[in-house]
Structure 1
Amino acid sequence: MSELSGRIIVVTGGETGIGRATVLELARAGANVVMGGILADKAEETIAEASGAPGSVSFQQTDVRLVDQVDALVAKANAEYGRIDGLVCNAGIFDGFASGIETSDRLWDQIIDVNLRGTFYACRAALRHMVEQKAGRIVNVASIGGLTGMADGASYTASKHGVIGLTRHLGCYYAKDGITVNAVCPGVITTTLRDNSTRILGEDAPVMAGVGVETDWLPVRVPMARKGVPEDISAMITFLLSERANYITGQCMTVDGGWTAK
């Protein structure tokens, strides 16, 4: 039996990509996952894919830019199960590599509101319960864009640096309460982030530029010379939620094929 069997874990942005891989891995490990997100149609697909897993998956429409909705998501999990063992803050949108001059006020606000403010809202809501329990695991999905200056656009880079700073503070501050807070920093991962971001941002969406021709670009930056897959990240998230990681807090675990080591 998995050590995550029966655990109650809230996941924001669990409908696609890294979030979906995480929800599925947790459900297959026997966890009960309460998923919050904006893309209800994609959430239905995720729930269908999890059908038959030992754990359960439920969904509540949640826009992490809205504190009332985030609080309601966490309250739902606590009301249904009486506790919250873990939180994964995965909801995020991309800025299409927009430079400082190219970043409009609206784009800046939207990226910061989803990636950083939304992560803070979810962490704060979960911590209120975890401090009472004297136990809990939080994993924030940051990015190598939070560790370097030239991996992404201006607003995305700023937002992910903020997530890492928040993670370090919360991880240190709440260690005394039996809570760990860590971040995962993915490199280039095959997901639908650009399409999802365009859909969520609407008229505020920039042109979602790519990162160059894969065969030319990847070997220059990434020693493994390939993109990662969502399961590469969900494996690290699952580890950080487990008891095997109980002496790790305030850390940023990089999963990038060697990009930032080069």
Structure 2
Amino acid sequence: MRSDSTAVVTGGGRGIGQAIAVELAKDGADVVLAGIDEGGMEETVSLIESEGQRAIDQYTDLKHYESVQSSIDTALEEFESIDILVNNAGIAGPTASCEEVSVEEWDDTIDVNLRGPFFACKEVLPVMKAQQYGRIVNVASVTGKRPLEQRTPYAATKMGLIGFTRTLAAEVGEYNINVNAICPGSVDGPRIRRVFEQKAESTGQSYEDVRQAAESESPRGELVEREDIAELAAFLCSDESERITGQDLNVSAGKVMY
């Protein structure tokens, strides 16, 4: 990572995003948090400042291009450059069969999970091209590589995000900009617990059975921790990853091996 780097992390108020933001701060980056969880982002700012780095939080609705534009403009006013972009923010979307998914649920999932990263990249790329340097990390999912029943909107966005990552990496490599995706398996925390609860309700299973089934898909018999994702993200933003681009890297405890 460049000295005095500035990172923008979407959805940095909790979970994976918070862990990534703090890990980048540990490596010496100042961080701009962009998301809608204002209370969570305030907490993350405090954690970053405790690492001796600067941080600001910007309310950002990724469904609206103007909101993303405004946040990136503020980041540039405050820090003058953007070296790292982590597109972490995302929603789980509905747990239901395709015909039971409403148009509004489909659109919301597409807007946050796929349009949001496009908006953010569209805004930071001119800066990165001008400085001939950049690191972009998109948080996708192993669902971007395989089916996930009852989750068609989510699967569509994560598969799309991997295609976006590969194509963008090919477009911007000549500017010394690397673009990679991280594909987590089931990450332990409140979000996956809600997904398990929704699946249990929709299928008539118990929560315990749903969770055990998810854990048993891994050779290690466990879920992933958010710190696992954060450490890989920090590596992909470091100088050690200089020639790694256009990749979609699994962190799934062996749940997916391709």
Give your verdict on TM over 0.5.
yes
**3-state SS in 1 of match to 2:180:** strand
1:201 match: none
Q: 1:12-161 counterparts in 2 under 5 A?
A: 12-150=10-148, 153-161=151-159
CA distance in 2, matches of 1:101, 1:175: 41
Count of residues in Structure 1 that have an aligned counterpart in Structure 2: 251
1:225 match: 221
CA distance in 1, matches of 2:59, 2:211: 39
2:198 match: 208
Identity of aligned residues (%): 37
1:169 match: 167
Q: Runs of 5+ in structure 1 lacking a partner?
A: 198-206
After TM superposition, the structure 1 stretch with the greater mean CA deviation from structure 2, 95-104 or 17-26, is 95-104
TM-score, with structure 1 as normaliser: 0.89
CA distance in 2, matches of 1:93, 1:248: 27
2:190 match: 192
CA distance in 1, matches of 2:193, 2:116: 20
TM-superposed CA distance for 1:97, in Å, is 2.9
Q: Deviations over 1:63-109 (max 9, x none)?
A: 11110111111122222222111000011000243221121100000
**3-state SS in 2 of match to 1:174:** helix
**In structure 2, what residue type is equivalent to 1:180?**
N
TM-superposed CA distance for 1:127, in Å, is 0.6
TM-superposed CA distance for 1:4, in Å, is 5.2
**In structure 2, what residue type is equivalent to 1:191?**
G
TM-superposed CA distance for 1:134, in Å, is 1.2
2:204 match: none
Asked if 1:245 is matched to 2:241, the reply is yes
**In structure 2, what residue type is equivalent to 1:208?**
Q
**3-state SS in 2 of match to 1:260:** coil
**3-state SS in 2 of match to 1:34:** strand
**3-state SS in 2 of match to 1:227:** coil
CA distance in 1, matches of 2:244, 2:149: 26
TM-score, with structure 2 as normaliser: 0.91
1:236 match: 232
Q: Runs of 5+ in structure 2 lacking a partner?
A: 201-206
The CA RMSD measured in Å over matched residues stands at 2.1
CA distance in 1, matches of 2:107, 2:215: 34
CA distance in 2, matches of 1:212, 1:154: 23
CA distance in 2, matches of 1:193, 1:233: 15
Aligned 8 A contact 2:140 2:182 in 1: yes
Q: Segments of 4+ in structure 1 off by > 6 A? A: none
